[in-house]
Each structure stands twice: as structure tokens, then as C-alpha cells.
Amino acid sequence: MELSAGVVANGYIVALNCIDWVKSRKLTSYDKIITSLAFSRFCLQVFVSSDNFLYTLYPDLFHMNEISRPYGVIWMFINQLSLCFASCLSVFYCVKIATFNQSLFSWLKLRLSKLVPWLLLGSVLYCLVTTVAFTVFTYSSFVSSHNSTDCLSRNVTISDNNKNREVFTFLIHGIGSISPIILFITSSALLIISLWRHIRKMSLNSDLNLSFRNPTVDAHVRALKSVVSFFILYNIYYMALTLSIGTVAYVSDEWRITVCTIIVAAYPSLHSIVLILGNPKLKLASARILHSANC
């Protein structure tokens, strides 16, 4: 149900923006970022859904290294790409909404529309680099473990290979996530500082009661709802990934995997719904669709 909701929400964002692009032959910088983010999450959720379906039908399929290694590479790339695009969205909010007098910030504001495509392309290249690093590490780990376990039984060898793959997946994923997370936290902190300075300025002008109806404050609040919800959901998602690799006392592997799967599926679905509710264009279009469906 979570994956279905996420596929529908992300597919809706991509479809609506693509229709607008066909009609007007152009997309705003925000639409480019949110479409890229929704498309990456759509691919991720379709990939995870097919993985769960195949694992249910063929439980031993992913014990084969010929299947598990390509699966880990594809998941790594799509997952990292989704994180980088979310960080790009946070940077866009910060540059577009935050108010600072520094020359660099003013320069970024003026050239934001030209920088967004390069920011998205840089995210893709960054994810390719981390994915290649992941592939090299997992392949070398497999070769070394395969050469050093000739005297072990086949079941133990498979278990060791799977554990090494999971550890290296988590390790490279964690290292690759550092830069996007730092970028995300920095832009979010600047956005919060800008909001605090604006409210403080309004209070000094004796307009505190009206400040929360100010368009600038409203824009700050909408952006912060998006970035804060993403930060909370992503941290829960990351902890669930960590828990799925390790072991927990008094908790069976079946229950651990089930709970982690539910949490992992909730992250891209809920944040995409938050983005729809926080965007006037997407919210209005969804309301029209629901109204037409009710009629």
C-alpha cells in the first residue's frame, strides 16, 4: 500500500509537469528539480516493488551473486540520485527564498535558472562515481572471499558473500550520502536563519502580529515544512537500512526485515505527498482530479 501510494504520487508529479512542458515547451527551475526527484523516486519504488515480488516468489534468487550484484548497483544509483535531488531542492529553496545581502548569494539568485540544469547533471555524475566505487568494492570483496573459502561449505560461503555485500552496500552508501546531507543541512540552516532574521525585523517594526501573514514568511514556512519533513523521514529511513543489515537481540530476522521494509517504503511516499500538499499548482490539480472522480 505504501509503495502504491508513492508510485501514484510520484507518477502524478512527473505526469503533470510533463503535460505542462508539452503545452508550454518550458519548465521552471523548481519544476525541473521536483520532476527529477519524483522520477527518481518513482523508479526506486517500482524497483523495490518488483524486488519484493520476486523475493516472495523466488526466495533463493538473490543468494546468487549474478543477481545480487547488479541489484545492489542499480539500487545504489537510484537511491543516491533521489537523495541528491532532494538536496538540490533544499538548495533551491535556500537561494530562492532566503534573504541575505552577500554578493555571492545575490549572484546565485540572478543565475539560478541557468545553474539548476548543471546542478542536476552534477548530481547524476556524483551518483555515477559513488556507484562505480560501490561496484569496485563489492566485486573485489566477492573475489577475495571466493578465493579464501575453498574449504568451507557452500552454504557458509553464500552467507559470507551476502553479509559482505550488505556491509559494503551500507558503507559506500553512507560515505556517498555525506556530501548531499551536508549540503542539505547547510541550506536548511541558512533558510532557518533567514526566517528568524525576517521575523525579528518585522517585530522591530511592530508588525509581529501581521508577520505570519507576510508572503515572505509564508514562503519560508512552506519551504521549511518540505525540508524538515524530508530530514525527519530520511533519518528514519537511514536507521531502518542500518537495522536491516545488523542484528537485534530478541527480534527475529523475519520481523526485523518486515518492519524495516515498511519504514523504508514510507520515506519516499510520504515526502512526495508533502511536496504535493505544499505546492499550490499540484494541490489544485489534484483537487480537480478528485472532484472529477467524485462526479
Phi, psi (deg, nearest 5) at residue 214: -75, 135
- Comparing 38 with 230, the larger pLDDT belongs to 38
* Three-state SS at 10: helix
Quote the percentage of the chain above a pLDDT of 70: 74
Q: Tell me what the pLDDT averaged over the chain comes to.
A: 76
Q: What confidence tier does 123 reach under pLDDT thresholds 50, 70, 90?
A: very high
pTM of the model: 0.80
Res. 99: pLDDT tops 90:
no
User: What is the mean pLDDT of the segment spanning 240-264?
Assistant: 65
Helix (H) or strand (E) holding 131: helix 112-147
Q: What confidence tier does 122 reach under pLDDT thresholds 50, 70, 90?
A: very high
CATH value of 2-294 in 3.40.50.720, 3.40.50.450, 1.20.140.10, 1.20.1070.10: 1.20.1070.10
C-alpha separations of 263 from 1, 166, 244, 258, 292 in Å: 12, 18, 11, 9, 33
Residue with cell 523504508: 264
Most confident listed range (113-122, 127-136, 215-224):
113-122
User: What is the mean pLDDT of the segment spanning 209-217?
Assistant: 58
Please answer whether residues 120 and 36 qualify as being in contact, where contact means their C-beta atoms are separated by less than 8 angstroms: yes
Please answer whether residues 42 and 8 qualify as being in contact, where contact means their C-beta atoms are separated by less than 8 angstroms: no
pLDDT tens digits, one per residue of 33-86: 999 999 998 988 888 777 777 777 776 665 555 666 777 788 888 888 988 998
